[in-house]
Structure 1
Amino acid sequence: MKVIFDIQHLYYLPQYLPVIDVLKQHDTDIELIGYKTDDEDLNRIVEKALQATNLPLKIVQNWQEALTHYLAQKADWIVFGNAVSDLEQLHEVSKTVLMQHGVGPKSCYYDVSKNPTTVRFVEGEKRLGNLQAMFPSGNFVDSGYAKLDPAINNQTATRSLASLGLDETKPTLLYAPTFYPSSIELFAKSFPDDFANYNIILKPHFFSLTKPRYKKQKALLENWAKQDNVYLAGVEEYNLLEFMAISDVLISDASSAIFEFAALDKPVIWCDFYKLRWSYRGIFAFRFKKRIDESIEVFHQLCERAANYKALAKCVTNAVENPQAKHAIRVDITKEYVGDVDGNCAQRVVDYLIKH
């Protein structure tokens, strides 16, 4: 069996790696496809990360080149982390998989199934039911969220706080915002000083560090990183799980990270304030609501909610002092929106691929 993994962006890789590890235990040919960008430094980072897997690798210029390669290879399965075009052509020679790169509250979680792959692996009963209702002809399989398997199985490569230059006697806050809609630009410039009694690990979305349109976010993050109690993860440090393992509390906004950290039964603070473009404000507020699906309402139950930056301090204190306060809620919501957290999600994916 030959399986090709399409890696449009480096941050798709953590979702794939557990599945790749299980596939290696079988008689499987595995190939990775990466994409070049206009940023040569970024290209070097991506290629180095993909080469570290010690798997056959091809870097393509664009989707058309990838498509040509796929049609020639005639692999049994091609795995995607997002929606792609030309599925009808691909299905003439291969079967396709969608493993969505995140489980966050953005409506794109559902939109990407408008053009159906052969199978889409989904996470949890709620999402499975929603997708089946929206796309009755789709083939959806609840595998759980494979990305979390290494953390559940204690196989995550972690850092020590000391290796990041942080104080091992302090509680550690992990700030992992998304790129849009994001809370970053509504945080104070004094963020590190306001939380001087804590370590702060900054793990922004890949785009916050690589896309020119988010340069203000990058500037603010880099300014915070000058303080002794702050560590800013670089683009090459693409796996959020490594930082989740050594953090006590997650601070985030409209990000998959909230479901992921809660699934590890750790407290989450939801920043329910966002820097919105003018086209998403006022009479255009409906665009923001359209971008976010109903699962963000679950954050009210799952998280400590900070309505603005000033409210963050009290939320942090509550989360650090009472980490088990929302344990039962985290368990229930994880079952609905992330699925079984048993360390066997990747095995279920591979079992399906082999069987079919």
Structure 2
Amino acid sequence: MTVIFDIQHLYYLPQYLPVLAELTKHDVACRFVFYRQAEAELQKVCEEVIANEQLDAVWVDNWSQALAHYTREQADWLVFGNAVNDLDQLHRVSKTVLMQHGIGPKQCYYDVSANPTTVRFVEGQHRLKRLQALYPNSNFVDTGFAKLDPAFNAPHALLTLEALGLDPAKPTLLYAPTFYPSSIECFAKTFAQDFSEFNIIVKPHFFSLSKDKYHKQRRLLQQWAQAKNVYLAPVSDYNLLPFMALSDVMISDASSAIFEFAALNKPVVWCDFYKLRWSYRGIFSFRFKQRLNDDIEFFHQITERVEHYQGLKQAVTEAFREPNKLASKRIEMTAQLAGATDGQVSKRIAEYLIANT
């Protein structure tokens, strides 16, 4: 049996690695397809990850080359982290899987299933029922979110504050914004000083660090990184999970990281303020609403909402002081939006793939 994982972007990998570990236990041959990166630094990071994780990987330049490779290899299963084209052609030689790389409130979470894979593994009954209503002829299986498995199986083995050059005597704040719509440019240049009593781990989205169009975000991030109480995760730190396991409170914006951190039953402060492009403001604000979906309403139930940077300090302080304030609601919503959090998600996925080969 052979399974090939498609790595369109490096940040898909944390969702795949726990499944790889389970499949390897059953002597399943697992291979990876990486796409060559235009940025030399990013290409180097990908090559280092392949070496460090000891992945059996091949490189392609584009989807056409990937498609040719998949058609030639005829693996039992092809695993994708986002929607792809040419599924009819792929299904002549292989079965396909969609493991969406995030569980956030963006509309694309649902839209990607318009082109149906053989199976899509989903997270929780709310997502399952909504997808089944939208695409009644597609195959969805509620397994949970595999990326979170290591946090439940070995949370203390992932990372230490000392390894990041931070103070273990201080509480730790994780800031994990998405790239767009993002709160980064609404934060003060004095962010690090304003929260000097905390360790601050800043883990921006992959695109904020790698795409030219987000250079203004990058300039601000690099300024914060000069402070002793700040660790700015570089592109090579592609996995958010070790930072989540290490942190006491997270602040984020329209990011799936909110659901992920809440699934660990830790407090989240939601930055409901964003730097929007002119094409998303005023009479074009409908585009902003279209980019998100109704699932963002669940943020209200599991987070402390802040509408501007000036209110952030008080919300963060209260979250540290009362970490269990929304604990019961986080547990309830996690069951709906992330599914089972028993550390066995990747095992269920592996068993399904083996049983349905």
Q: Compute the TM-score of the two structures, normalised by the length of structure 1.
A: 0.99
1:246 CA drift (Å) = 1.1
Matches of 1:130 and 1:36 in 2, distance apart? Answer: 35
Matches of 1:134 and 1:90 in 2, distance apart? Answer: 23
Aligned to 1:113: 113
Work out whether residues 34 and 47 of structure 1, in 8 Å CA contact, stay in contact via their aligned partners in 2.
Answer: no
The answer to whether the aligner puts 1:88 opposite 2:64 as a matched pair is no
Matches of 1:176 and 1:262 in 2, distance apart? Answer: 13
Please list, as runs of the form range in 1=range in 2, the aligned pairs for 1:171-186 lying within 5 A after superposition. Answer: 171-186=171-186
Please list, as runs of the form range in 1=range in 2, the aligned pairs for 1:105-144 lying within 5 A after superposition. Answer: 105-144=105-144
Aligned to 1:283: 283
The letter of the residue matching 1:221 is L
User: Compared with structure 1, are the counterparts of its residues 156 and 63 closer, same or farther at alpha carbon in structure 2 (3 Å cutoff)?
Assistant: farther
Work out whether residues 121 and 141 of structure 1, in 8 Å CA contact, stay in contact via their aligned partners in 2.
Answer: yes
Matches of 2:124 and 2:292 in 1, distance apart? Answer: 18
Matches of 1:15 and 1:108 in 2, distance apart? Answer: 17
Work out whether residues 155 and 245 of structure 2, in 8 Å CA contact, stay in contact via their aligned partners in 1.
Answer: no
Work out whether residues 102 and 256 of structure 1, in 8 Å CA contact, stay in contact via their aligned partners in 2.
Answer: yes
Work out whether residues 156 and 242 of structure 1, in 8 Å CA contact, stay in contact via their aligned partners in 2.
Answer: no
Q: Compute the TM-score of the two structures, normalised by the length of structure 2.
A: 0.98
Tell me which stretches of 4 or more aligned residues in structure 1 moved more than 3 Å: none
Work out whether residues 179 and 204 of structure 1, in 8 Å CA contact, stay in contact via their aligned partners in 2.
Answer: yes
Matches of 1:199 and 1:178 in 2, distance apart? Answer: 20
Aligned to 2:354: 354
Matches of 2:157 and 2:291 in 1, distance apart? Answer: 34
Work out whether residues 185 and 220 of structure 1, in 8 Å CA contact, stay in contact via their aligned partners in 2.
Answer: yes
Aligned to 1:308: 308
Does the residue aligned with 2:121 lie in a helix, a strand or coil?
Answer: strand
Please list, as runs of the form range in 1=range in 2, the aligned pairs for 1:223-234 lying within 5 A after superposition. Answer: 223-234=223-234
The answer to whether the aligner puts 1:28 opposite 2:28 as a matched pair is yes
How many residues align structurally? 356
CA displacement 1:197-254 (0-9 Å, x = unmatched): 1110000000000000001101100000000110000100111111111110000001
1:113 CA drift (Å) = 0.4
Please list, as runs of the form range in 1=range in 2, the aligned pairs for 1:310-325 lying within 5 A after superposition. Answer: 310-325=310-325
Work out whether residues 3 and 78 of structure 1, in 8 Å CA contact, stay in contact via their aligned partners in 2.
Answer: yes
Aligned to 1:238: 238
The answer to whether the aligner puts 1:212 opposite 2:212 as a matched pair is yes
1:156 CA drift (Å) = 6.6
Matches of 1:278 and 1:311 in 2, distance apart? Answer: 25
The letter of the residue matching 1:314 is Q
Aligned to 1:187: 187
1:157 CA drift (Å) = 4.5
Please list, as runs of the form range in 1=range in 2, the aligned pairs for 1:52-71 lying within 5 A after superposition. Answer: 52-71=52-71
Structure 2: tracts of 5 or more residues without a match: none
1:27 CA drift (Å) = 2.5
Work out whether residues 144 and 341 of structure 2, in 8 Å CA contact, stay in contact via their aligned partners in 1.
Answer: yes
Aligned to 2:268: 268
CA displacement 1:51-72 (0-9 Å, x = unmatched): 2222311011111111100000
Matches of 2:198 and 2:156 in 1, distance apart? Answer: 23
Structure 1: tracts of 5 or more residues without a match: none
